[in-house]
Structure 1
Amino acid sequence: MVNSMSDNLPLSDIDQRQASSSDFRPIKPMNRSPAFDSNLSLDLRPVILEIAPMRKPPPNVCLTLYRIAPEQNMHRYYQLALQPNLFGGISLLRYWGRIGRNGSGRAELFDHFSEAETRMQALARQKTRRGYTPLPFSVDF
């Protein structure tokens, strides 16, 4: 067996503590030298943190309404979507425009799902009064 120079290097304080632990097998001090190795070893055992259980996210809700009137050359869509955001709240996303074109959009942020749902229902009622309807699947463009 060939003796390498790295086998003769002294163990750092952290390596000695880990070696004294009964459930830890030390890593061979390969490629370590006092000039490059610090006392902050990356070979420590991982620390398992207690993570709080996540809340069940609210459901994604999407509603698409259309207003099509060929005699007026009107082919519009209005889409409402509720999605959880990264801050623990709910985003109401609104997209609108002419079918087949890039439209516009806006996002409203809410703290609670019920507030966002109430706002979404109010906007859907407003658009329904203006002639928007859900599109049946049988209609072909």
Structure 2
Amino acid sequence: EAHCAGPGADLDYVLVDCPPSLGLLTVNAMVATQELLIPIQCEYYALEGLGQLLANVELVRAHLNPALHVSTILLTMYDSRTRLADQVAQEVRSHFGDTVLTTSIPRSVRVSEAPGYGQSVVTYDPGSRGALAYVEAAREIAERGSAVTS
């Protein structure tokens, strides 16, 4: 918090990207924050991983940070051509409701390529489906935040 609230700091969001495990970095991030945005791939094993991650969130909430909660779930690697992606998306939405963003991130070669060039997909190929979806997801998150603080 001290680093984020330094001189002239005017931040609406601070995102800390962590692996979905209960390693030291992830635990420290959960202790230091109040909200979690969980990206979940629209694949079968991601549902199992989500269950494990939520169990870890409960452990951290119970013992280290009672304010911690999942505020947002973002569906990623969504491929509308597969029935599995639709099933996973429906399952997540039915269980988590409004916590799940309306916007989902499509499976995209450009999204996969961008990190190899040290860039975000929005910088690498701003007009790509993946970049446009991430911009829309960011807009949706910002609108949710302004609705909460208004």
TM-score (norm 2): 0.22
Q: Provide the TM-score with structure 1 as the length reference.
A: 0.23
Structure with higher strand content: 1
Structure label with greater radius of gyration? 1
Q: Which has the higher contact order (CA 8 A, sep 6+)?
A: 2
